Amino acid sequence: MMEEREISQAVITRLPRYFRYLGELKDNGVERISSQELSEIMNATASQIRQDFNNFGGFGQQGYGYNVELLYKEIGKILGLDRQHHMIIIGAGNLGHALANYMNFERRGFIFDGCFDINEKLIGTKIRGIEVLPMEEMEDFIIQNNIDMAVIAIPKVGAAEVADRLVACGIKAIWNFAHIDLKVPDNVTVENVHLSESLMKLSYNFNTAKRNKN
Amino acid sequence: MMEEREISQAVITRLPRYFRYLGELKDNGVERISSQELSEIMNATASQIRQDFNNFGGFGQQGYGYNVELLYKEIGKILGLDRQHHMIIIGAGNLGHALANYMNFERRGFIFDGCFDINEKLIGTKIRGIEVLPMEEMEDFIIQNNIDMAVIAIPKVGAAEVADRLVACGIKAIWNFAHIDLKVPDNVTVENVHLSESLMKLSYNFNTAKRNKN
């Protein structure tokens, strides 16, 4: 158990990518693959792949490589994709809509159960058949529907307060799109998607490449 | 010039966060700050902050700390935020809409000039006053409007082909939301936002925390 804690976030960040490539190989009917072949497809080194997999016991590669389907399933399990997670989305704007419409999430066990907004014009409208509810009803909904994950898809202003309310009623996983670092207790997991920081990184790399070229 | 190439992506990833915190300090009227104070606000170590800044010459901290406004401006310049970038968005769905509506991007010099889609129902509609155009017009538009950045906000299917077309007409920076690793020449910068990978990472950390608790 303690072992799991020590796996670096860099490895965790790579796991979903392995999962994606293995899913594609599986869909294409590939049954076995060596770390060398996998490394070529993924543009990574074979030794990194082996090292990453060794964190989880190595997945029993033998001389003839990994069993693709087994490896895909094992990584899925590690990522928690073998169980269902019940999610609500805070914010029924374009971003909330976009996230609710990612059908792929549902296929992976992330069930979209509810959506909340403060905007009177949005309350009562439907997103994929789910009615947008007023923020006042959020706490009761979370408790009654065994929600375990919440998506914050509202602007920076108000996000900290919403996070506090989510934590207060027992939410332990927050997917945060607000451009703010949330302060939450240690037992609450936050994954940030800071879009403007990603855009700035693109800008930096683009401008640096341009300067180096000139 | 060569020096810039050697700055690690980990440092680059942290720069926008410094920029955000310094912007907040500036807006709150703070004129000077030490690396120690900055580290406390940002939940980082003072030595990491100093090390990161040393990549860019250190920004002349003296005994009494950094000049907040100067540092904010310098980091903005490094990130390329002192010039304008002209962007188009491929995909006028919810995600494309959400990205076009991030007013904050425009304030940072990322100008949203055009939007393209294959969906007949969306072509001719407007997003923030910009008419959605058919994909056939993309290449001409890019050349005529000096577009330097493109956002791929369409599903995985079709994304590789769109990227090839963007590269072929000279686009050097792609912000990619499609769940695929694009194959582009070395002189093209790609920044990926793989939402489902981010969600899986949240799932892993959430489930691991839960297991460790039980």
B177-200 residue pLDDT tens: 999 999 999 999 999 999 999 999
Rounded average pLDDT over B13-40: 93
Residue B5 reports pLDDT greater than 50: no
Please state, in angstroms and rounded to a whole number, the distance separating the CA atoms of residues A12 and A22. Answer: 16
Q: Quick check: B93 contacting A, CB < 8 Å?
A: yes
Minimum Cα–Cα distance from B41: chain A residue: A181
Helix B35-42 × helix B9-27 angle, to 10°: 100
What domains are defined for chain A? Answer: 2-78 (1.10.10.10), 85-197 (3.40.50.720)
Quote the pLDDT of residue B102. 80
Q: Which of A50-59, A169-178, B33-42 has the lowest mean pLDDT?
A: A50-59
Chain B contact set for A105 (CB, 8 A): 196, 199
If we measure between CA atoms, which residue out of B121, B168, B111 comes closest to residue B140? Answer: B168
CA angle A156-A208-B91, nearest 5°?
50
Please state, in angstroms and rounded to a whole number, the distance separating the CA atoms of residues B75 and B14. Answer: 11
A171, A148 Cβ separation under 8 angstroms: yes
Q: Which of A194-198, B2-6, B34-38, B164-168 has the lowest mean pLDDT?
A: B2-6
Q: Interface pTM (ipTM) of the complex?
A: 0.91
Identify which of B2, B80, B200 has the shortest CB distance to residue A203: B80
Minimum Cα–Cα distance from B192: chain A residue: A198
Please state, in angstroms and rounded to a whole number, the distance separating the CA atoms of residues A75 and A95. Answer: 29
